[in-house]
Amino acid sequence: MPDGPDLLLFAGLLIAVTALQFAVLALLLTRRTVRPVLAVLFVATAFATFYMDRYSVFINPEMLQNVLHTDWPEARELLTPELGLHLLLYAGLPLMLLSRVQIRERPMSRALGTRLLAVTAALVLAALVVFPQFRTVSSLVRNHREARHLITPTNYLSSGFRLARSAVAAPAGPREVIAADAHRAAAAAGQRPRLLVLAIGETVRSANFGLSGYARDTTPELRKLDLVTWPRVQACGTSTEVSVPCLFAPVGRRDYDEARIRREQSLLHVLDRVGFKVLWLDNQSGCKGVCDGLPSERIAGDADPLLCDGERCLDAVLLPRLAAAAMEPGDLVVVLHLLGNHGPAYFRRYPEEFRRFTPTCDSSELSACSDAEIVNAYDNAILYTDHVLAAMLAWLQALPDRDAALIYVSDHGESLGENGIYLHGLPYAIAPAVQREVPMLMWLSDGLLESTGVDEDCLKAEAGAAVAHDHFFHSVLGLLDVSTSVHEPSLDLFAGCRRPRATAPPPR
């Protein structure tokens, strides 16, 4: 609770916002619509305030999009007894009061007069409380524009309106072709078929990743392997809805343009066009348009009796499917969309034998746990990701007849109670580093290093550099020898680390 001058400001804003919302509703609602509209707003607002309070989330169009794309297993994890209590208090009670209000019918002219009087009074009241502190209020509005995402119900109503508008504006037809000039370098004689595995992690932050320098070793198995690691990669967004499409688009965060990303083809369409077999294997909430029209498989919640609970599967469920995909002849790119550290039910993301940091928070109601318990559960989930990736690498290394590579990168980070903030999805400009910084790592088989001319030591020496999700699209094209005018060598992590191809004639 604020104190002193802040309390005055807080009270003033509360009165002003309430008065303004009253004025707007008084202008719009009629005798017949007032009850149903207010009832819907009460319930929706109670839901919104619960998640805003609990997890310090802002409701902007991106957050609302996350909510609308939530599937049933995700939603189930968020339904808790505390939510029930909150709804009873903040929706049930107002609804009861609403049902008792008598609406009197008045002659048209009198009703109009009363209405106008009430609206004027509300506007005057708002002005009276704001003007004495106008400088403070205007600087607050200017410097903390994101604060508007905290005002219910305007935050979710305006976000919904903006989402609906962009959905209407989005073209329904096929996606616009990108990199129309793309082509592959001819394969060298005797070159073995390639397999590139792109593992997209979920909610794994650098701050808790052993290989990124976390004091706890949450990556003991990967540490034993010979990998190139980028400890801190700047994510494109702070949510799956933003980061996943952005990773597979040429524009990245530097020229972020959501409408363009949704309208255009992705990296996978380009790879498919130049002759790679492409497959998206999903243990999460879908490919967000990245794999539109391309082969994809979503793992059902009951796909494996040992690894699934009927709603969700542990990430190891992807391994046999990856192995089956690799039976296909030809060059192959497989995307694995991992469930990773998907919150808030971190404790559901690993089997019992990975419950190594204890005590753990064994509830999706984070407020029922201490921050230390939440971090323990989160870290155990990273231990399990470490194990799944190491198992995948062991399999890839033993693959006899392919030049293979694995690139792992997390989609965004997570807040685990720092400054009272939980989960992710804060507007990028104000999101803490823990939501923006993610680990990335890479393994390339000896055969692939040879056939691509990539110098692994050079990569390792450059891996400390500032790297972002923006590098992903261009690096994959570079590694796979795909040439196009869209490819930006300055964003290709391999570009500075390639020897001339062994097949090129020696210079005279």
# residues near Zn ion by CB under 5 A: 3
Tell the burial category of 115 from Cβ atoms under 10 Å away from its Cβ (0-12, 13-18, 19+): middle
> Which of 126, 407 has the CB closer to Zn ion?
407
Q: Which stretch binds Zn ion (CB under 5 A): 198-206, 351-359, 363-371, 453-461?
A: 198-206
Closest by CA position to 433, among listed 409, 456, 416? 416
Q: Is the dihedral of CA 235, 206, 285, 425 positive or negative?
A: negative
Q: Which stretch binds Zn ion (CB under 5 A): 19-27, 69-77, 409-417, 442-450?
A: 409-417
Q: Does 62 bind Zn ion (CB under 5 A)?
A: no
Q: Give residue 202's identity as a one-letter amino acid code.
A: E
Provide DSSP, 251-300: STTTT--HHHHHHB--HHHHHHHTT-EEEEEESSS--TTTTTTS-EEEPP
Closest by CA position to 51, among listed 22, 23, 80, 15? 80
Smallest gap from Cβ 239 to Zn ion, in A, equals 6
Q: Does 283 bind Zn ion (CB under 5 A)?
A: no
Query: Are 223 and 389 within 8 A, CB to CB?
Result: no
Query: Are 313 and 339 within 8 A, CB to CB?
Result: yes
Smallest gap from Cβ 360 to Zn ion, in A, equals 21
> Which of 284, 360 has the CB closer to Zn ion?
284
Number of H helices, E strands in the chain: 19, 12
Q: Which of 206, 218, 238, 240 binds Zn ion (CB under 5 A)?
A: 240
Smallest gap from Cβ 200 to Zn ion, in A, equals 9
2-41 mask for Zn ion (x: CB under 5 A)?
----------------------------------------
Q: Is the dihedral of CA 293, 337, 249, 476 positive or negative?
A: negative
Q: Which of 411, 470, 481, 492 binds Zn ion (CB under 5 A)?
A: 411
Smallest gap from Cβ 244 to Zn ion, in A, equals 7
Determine the Cα–Cα distance for residues 291 and 346; give it in Å rounded to an integer.
27
> Which of 286, 453 has the CB closer to Zn ion?
286
Q: Which stretch binds Zn ion (CB under 5 A): 103-111, 138-146, 238-246, 371-379?
A: 238-246
Q: Which stretch binds Zn ion (CB under 5 A): 196-204, 224-232, 293-301, 329-337?
A: 196-204
Q: Does 159 bind Zn ion (CB under 5 A)?
A: no
Q: Does 385 bind Zn ion (CB under 5 A)?
A: no
Smallest gap from Cβ 123 to Zn ion, in A, equals 43
Give the nearest residue (CB) to Zn ion.
240
Determine the Cα–Cα distance for residues 258 and 256; give it in Å rounded to an integer.
6
For residue 438, the cross-strand partners are: 233
Q: What are phi and psi of 198, to 5 degrees?
A: -110, 105
Which residues 6+ apart lie within 8 Å of 199 measured at CB? 335, 336, 338, 389, 392, 406, 407, 408, 409
* Residue written as token pair 């339904």: 79
**DSSP H or E run through 144:** none
Q: Which stretch binds Zn ion (CB under 5 A): 137-145, 285-293, 322-330, 406-414?
A: 406-414
Q: Does 60 bind Zn ion (CB under 5 A)?
A: no
Q: Which stretch binds Zn ion (CB under 5 A): 3-11, 39-47, 99-107, 240-248?
A: 240-248
> Which of 244, 326 has the CB closer to Zn ion?
244
Q: Does 238 bind Zn ion (CB under 5 A)?
A: no
Smallest gap from Cβ 202 to Zn ion, in A, equals 5
Q: Which stretch binds Zn ion (CB under 5 A): 19-27, 96-104, 151-159, 234-242?
A: 234-242
Provide DSSP, 293-332: TS-EEEPPTTS-TTTB-SS-B-GGGHHHHHHHHTTS-S-E
> Which of 386, 411 has the CB closer to Zn ion?
411
Smallest gap from Cβ 412 to Zn ion, in A, equals 5
Q: Which residues bind Zn ion (CB under 5 A)?
A: 202, 240, 411
